[in-house]
Amino acid sequence: MSSKPSIPKGTRDFSPVEVAKRTYIMNTIRSQFQHYGFQPIETPSFENSSTLMGKYGEEGDRLIFKILDSGEYIEKAKLKIEKVNSKEIAYLTILLEEVFIHLKSYIIKSDIIEHNNGPLFLAEFINNRINGVISSSAGIADVNRFENDIVDFFKANALDIGITLYRKNEFFTSDDSFQNFKMEELREFQERLITYLNIKYFHRVPSKALTPQISEKALRYDLTVPFARYVVQHQNDIVFPFKRFQIQPVWRADRPQKGRFREFYQCDADVVGSDSLWQEVEFVQLYDAVFTALKLEGVTIKMNNRKVLSGIAEVIGASDKLIDFTVALDKLDKIGEEGVTKEMLSKGITQEAINKVAPLFSLSGNFGEQLETLQSLLSDSETGKEGIKELLFINDAISNLGLQTATLQLDVTLARGLNYYTGAIFEVAAPEGVKMGSIGGGGRYADLTGIFGLKDMSGVGISFGLDRIALVLEELNLFPEDTTEGVKVFFVNFGDTEASYAMQAIGKLRKAGISAELYPDPVTSNKQMKKQMTYANRRNIPFLVLAGTQEVEDKTFTLKNMAGGTQETVSFDSLLKHLSS
Amino acid sequence: MSSKPSIPKGTRDFSPVEVAKRTYIMNTIRSQFQHYGFQPIETPSFENSSTLMGKYGEEGDRLIFKILDSGEYIEKAKLKIEKVNSKEIAYLTILLEEVFIHLKSYIIKSDIIEHNNGPLFLAEFINNRINGVISSSAGIADVNRFENDIVDFFKANALDIGITLYRKNEFFTSDDSFQNFKMEELREFQERLITYLNIKYFHRVPSKALTPQISEKALRYDLTVPFARYVVQHQNDIVFPFKRFQIQPVWRADRPQKGRFREFYQCDADVVGSDSLWQEVEFVQLYDAVFTALKLEGVTIKMNNRKVLSGIAEVIGASDKLIDFTVALDKLDKIGEEGVTKEMLSKGITQEAINKVAPLFSLSGNFGEQLETLQSLLSDSETGKEGIKELLFINDAISNLGLQTATLQLDVTLARGLNYYTGAIFEVAAPEGVKMGSIGGGGRYADLTGIFGLKDMSGVGISFGLDRIALVLEELNLFPEDTTEGVKVFFVNFGDTEASYAMQAIGKLRKAGISAELYPDPVTSNKQMKKQMTYANRRNIPFLVLAGTQEVEDKTFTLKNMAGGTQETVSFDSLLKHLSS
């Protein structure tokens, strides 16, 4: 192929500089995870489809990348249809025989043998009688679902059958000739019927239904479901509560758009096996620790609790309106109380309900003060009060332990993961002024591993949005200078003798942990000298060593500081000292 | 689902201990790569199929994991057939019109309107005439290949068409009503014909041919082809020679077996853009550096050169027998000269050829000495001598620079990657006594990026076999003790007050880089105390802190050394000091 190669949309190549920056973020997160006692696990990139399908809702199922089975998958898929119906096929053969027997007797009884439009009569007879023949074999459950297909088949083949019989009818005077006929012709029509059904069935199968027949594996869609699968599969080797972290890519067949990719890393930390609220406290601290370590100060850790949302739903007496409600409430700063009320009414939330929760409009003050308002508001909802109690515990613990650079904030409009979170809900917002969606989020599942048959395992966890964090650090210029530092020293290649001398030194430098390299090709002209200089420059190599004939003779090295442009000729030891500092 | 969940065959979950060990190996390799001036890149897990297919031979194509397109891929696949044939479909429509016009004129001319078996007559007319109608449009290449299908279609639909026309025939007296007819009915039959053809064609497609229609992406099969693609795609941003390393998983639909997985990591370092032999020298050193850093001493770095093999092929006058030859020669130690000769003869290598290369049987001594023997043997082969010259340069450089713990060895039987390597060939064998295939390999491609249209880019590189290296380190017990060290100190949870006191200390320890954790649930019984102890034990946490009412009051901590069992009550500062050491 000579057309310029490309990569699939929604995927990315990462250059050395990009890899270095991403590695810096991942290592920072990893080391905090480890300080907090989380242990790394890794799971396969693809799982059995049965593990993933149906865990993310219909939308999710659509966005899961399926892996095509190897080999003759179409054959396999078709065979499946035949296999499934082998018993049915047997019935169909009997049906065909019945049809022919009916026809035979009909032909013999009737006078159509002289009738020159016999075939059409027969065809019409088939079309009229076939329903009867089939219903005669009703009760054969396997066949019933075929009824229409069989009728269609006979309609489509009526004339052929009619003509065949018509041409054959002179033999229909002796029974064994009919046996013959069955042997030969029947087989042909039977063949036709089976193919007909297979094609029909195969083609009636929408992709969604065909997929399980030709794909048994799918790419990981997130890290939570594989984690749940891991916990259940290895439950006997795990000490609970199990604190694990996992930093691996996931894949989603989403429509690619700015900042949304089809392959991206998730960095998750979860605990499973305890419902202690100290874990929520720890996750708030962990967010604070990671973003502080990344020098990303002033992030806001928003918290809410599913039980509080349920409480609000109770109060407004419309659980189904909960999302509309929170979405509208979230716009308070933008469109004001009136606007919000208007939107809520438009969504079918009653004025009465709105009045009940009016206090939410004036929800203000710090975490604790806001909780007090909520308390009076949800005083009638047991669930609501439960949620408030949980938030209270977390807030007390945090105010008492303190955070380094982040702020903890209550946000009753925070309604992410409503279909799985059962308690705490987390979301992290970038520092004010940075236009960016949430850079992290998480929550608690009361029953994380239930989907795989291990009951009563409460799990809570958080996730970091690597790509967005990278964008924020870029925007605020927070990557440490040395993040992208590559090779420290570059040796010009003056020819084999000098190169060999250089390689001696390079070997020692590398053993000392200093990254060093020799230009592979020798300088044979000024032009090439320039080429090597350009190479060192473009790769931002801070030091350059010139070791030509003279240096080799004197056992010295001329060290050039690319930044300052200064250069001096030194012994190896002082070269090592310079470069180690 | 309640059936115990599992993972696809050939894939693996990695426990915290396993991840720690693999991370240790990868970090060691990575840091040596960097000391040697290689820069990391990352490429997407899946590439466009066109990038991968046809690059690994037919076997490779089979073993590439294909990703199923999202959405209604079956529809899409069928549509594709329509698209391909859109021109043909147009002709088919004209054909249909012709048929109907014939029929119309026939109906009007004939007396069948009174004839009560008109439909059958029409049907038979269609069956008789259709071939004529089609052959009338022979020469329309696009249609010819459909002939049989069209005939089949009309046969299958003859009666329907007949009946339809028969019922409609009263309108066939005025032309515009026939226009009408064409407008409505024609469209229906046209629809049917297209579907009919699509179904037929779709079903004629074997999986191998269907795959490109329903899968446009595939999982990376190795790191070399994506690297070549990367180089060509980003050639304008790259400074050549480009030294890159890449540590990422690859996927192969191989039959899983002991030590062979369907997902595994490759650790590659390559240079592209120079044919300097200093690079081969550097890769020998790099192998030595990595295995020394892993404390895996005594590995053998085997080298050969494609040009030497070509030389031998010249001498034995049978390039096609080269593999048979090397395979047989490789058995010298096992089956002796006689055995080897016998095998060669059995493979059709002539006695004369064998005599010519007899010196290879007694190839002995060190790298240099063996080269001398080769030299006389290949004196007539220009290519052979070229290869020897290259090996000589590398051997001289290495003897002169020295290796730390590895041995460089010439192995003329080393014939890996014959279909792509053009110069140096590397392979690394584990230390004697360890039963394990090669733990690394590589070589030079004279034209690495040619497949993507960028000519004359010589590339050379090596790869490390992570999984096998891990097995070897395991067998020789070479993983450093602290590799799998998890949490350093564990705090027993005596209840909220004490927990809050503990969390204060834990926060400070973590800031000091010491991994510490609190048991999430409070001790409310001896049984639970035991449970927390067991937890700390099973996780091999070396230190345990007891901070109950007394300690909280005294602002102290009781530190227990799990190994020694000793414990003492200390201030936070001395706690920190103990744990930092």
Query: How far is residue A432 from each of residues A297, A398, A476, A502, B164, measured CA to CA in Å?
Result: 10, 22, 12, 52, 73
- Kindly report the nearest CA distance between residue A476 and chain B, in angstroms: 24
A465: its two tokens: 């949005």
A517, β-bridge pairs: A490
The pLDDT assigned to A61 comes to: 93
Question: Can you tell me the ipTM of this complex?
Answer: 0.82
Query: How far is residue B5 from each of residues A66, A104, A225, A450, B48, measured CA to CA in Å?
Result: 18, 57, 11, 12, 32
The pLDDT assigned to B139 comes to: 46
A387: its two tokens: 């949620």
Residue of B nearest to A214 (CA): B68
Residues in chain A with CB shorter than 8 Å from the CB of B214 are 68
Rounded distance between C-alpha atoms, residue A120 and residue B315, angstroms: 80
The pLDDT assigned to B83 comes to: 46
The pLDDT assigned to B167 comes to: 60
Query: How far is residue B192 from each of residues A75, A476, B93, B413, measured CA to CA in Å?
Result: 25, 62, 11, 64
Residues in chain A with CB shorter than 8 Å from the CB of B461 are none
- Kindly report the nearest CA distance between residue B156 and chain A, in angstroms: 6
Tell me which residue in A19, A241, A276 faces B41 most closely, judged by beta carbons: A19
Residue of A nearest to B536 (CA): A239
Whether A232 and B51 lie within 8 Å, measured CB to CB: no
CB contact at 8 A, A246 and A30: no
Pairing of strands A516-518, A300-305: unpaired
CB contact at 8 A, A516 and A487: yes
- Kindly report the nearest CA distance between residue A567 and chain B, in angstroms: 22
- Kindly report the nearest CA distance between residue B355 and chain A, in angstroms: 38
Q: Is A462 helix (H, G, I), strand (E, B) or coil?
A: strand
Whether B510 and A13 lie within 8 Å, measured CB to CB: no
Whether B36 and A278 lie within 8 Å, measured CB to CB: no
Residue of B nearest to A116 (CA): B117
Given strand B242-251, what is the order of strands in its sheet? B39-40, B242-251, B263-272, B459-464, B440-445, B424-429, B300-305, B407-410
pLDDT in tens, chain B (581 residues): 446 899 999 999 999 999 999 999 999 999 999 999 999 999 999 999 999 999 998 889 999 999 999 988 876 776 455 444 555 666 666 666 666 666 666 555 554 444 555 556 666 666 666 666 566 554 444 455 566 666 777 766 766 676 666 665 554 554 544 455 555 666 667 666 766 665 566 555 667 778 888 999 999 999 999 999 999 999 999 999 999 999 999 999 998 887 789 999 999 999 999 999 999 999 999 999 999 999 999 999 999 999 999 998 888 887 778 888 888 888 887 888 889 899 988 988 888 888 888 888 878 788 888 898 898 889 989 999 999 999 999 999 999 999 999 999 999 888 877 778 999 999 999 999 998 889 999 999 999 999 999 999 999 999 999 999 999 999 999 999 888 878 999 999 999 999 999 999 999 999 999 999 999 999 888 888 899 999 999 999 999 999 999 999 999 999 999 888 899 999 999 999 999 97
Pick among A38, A81, A112, A159 to test the B interface (most B CBs inside 10 A): A159
Residues in chain A with CB shorter than 8 Å from the CB of B289 are 510-511
The pLDDT assigned to B85 comes to: 53
* Relative orientation angle of helices A187-204 and A147-168, to the nearest 10 degrees: 150
Residue of A nearest to B535 (CA): A239
CB contact at 8 A, A487 and A457: no
The pLDDT assigned to B236 comes to: 94
The pLDDT assigned to B325 comes to: 82
Tell me which residue in A7, A14, A71 faces B41 most closely, judged by beta carbons: A14
CB contact at 8 A, B285 and B303: no
Pick among A2, A13, A58, A271 to test the B interface (most B CBs inside 10 A): A13
The pLDDT assigned to A1 comes to: 43
- Among candidate residues A50, A52, A45, A266, the one with its CA nearest the CA of residue B12: A45
Rounded distance between C-alpha atoms, residue B229 and residue B218, angstroms: 14
Rounded distance between C-alpha atoms, residue A186 and residue A179, angstroms: 10
Round to the nearest angstrom and report the end-to-end CA distance of chain B: 49
DSSP annotation of B42? B
Whether A278 and B493 lie within 8 Å, measured CB to CB: yes
Number of Cβ pairs < 8 A linking chain A and chain B? 300
Pick among A17, A18, A24, A35 to test the B interface (most B CBs inside 10 A): A35
Round to the nearest angstrom and report the end-to-end CA distance of chain A: 49
Residue of B nearest to A271 (CA): B520
Rounded distance between C-alpha atoms, residue A280 and residue A278, angstroms: 5
Ranges in chain A, pLDDT < 50: 1-2, 79, 82-84, 112-113, 138-141, 171, 174, 176-178
- Among candidate residues B462, B434, B581, B415, the one with its CA nearest the CA of residue B514: B581
Whether A40 and B34 lie within 8 Å, measured CB to CB: no
Pick among A68, A213, A237 to test the B interface (most B CBs inside 10 A): A68
Residues in chain A with CB shorter than 8 Å from the CB of B453 are 1-5
- Kindly report the nearest CA distance between residue A535 and chain B, in angstroms: 6
- Kindly report the nearest CA distance between residue A331 and chain B, in angstroms: 35
Whether A263 and B45 lie within 8 Å, measured CB to CB: yes
Pairing of strands A489-491, A300-305: unpaired
Residues in chain B with CB shorter than 8 Å from the CB of A46 are 8, 11, 65, 251, 263
CB contact at 8 A, B271 and B405: no
Whether B1 and A50 lie within 8 Å, measured CB to CB: yes
Rounded distance between C-alpha atoms, residue A286 and residue A284, angstroms: 5
Q: Is B557 helix (H, G, I), strand (E, B) or coil?
A: strand
CB contact at 8 A, B414 and B421: no
Rounded distance between C-alpha atoms, residue B114 and residue B170, angstroms: 11
The pLDDT assigned to B113 comes to: 47
Residues in chain A with CB shorter than 8 Å from the CB of B207 are 71-75
- Kindly report the nearest CA distance between residue A333 and chain B, in angstroms: 36
Whether B48 and A7 lie within 8 Å, measured CB to CB: yes
pTM beyond 0.80: yes
- Kindly report the nearest CA distance between residue B489 and chain A, in angstroms: 9
- The mean of the pLDDT values for chain A is 85
- Among candidate residues B20, B140, B5, B9, the one with its CA nearest the CA of residue B487: B20
Residue of B nearest to A51 (CA): B5
Task: Map tokens 């053969």 to a residue.
Answer: A93
DSSP annotation of B44? -
Give DSSP secondary structure letters for B411-438.
Answer: -TT--TTTTT--SEEEEEEPPTT-----
Pick among B207, B219, B487 to test the A interface (most A CBs inside 10 A): B207
Give DSSP secondary structure letters for B314-350.
Answer: HHHT-GGGHHHHHHHHHTHHHHHHHHHHHHHHHTT--
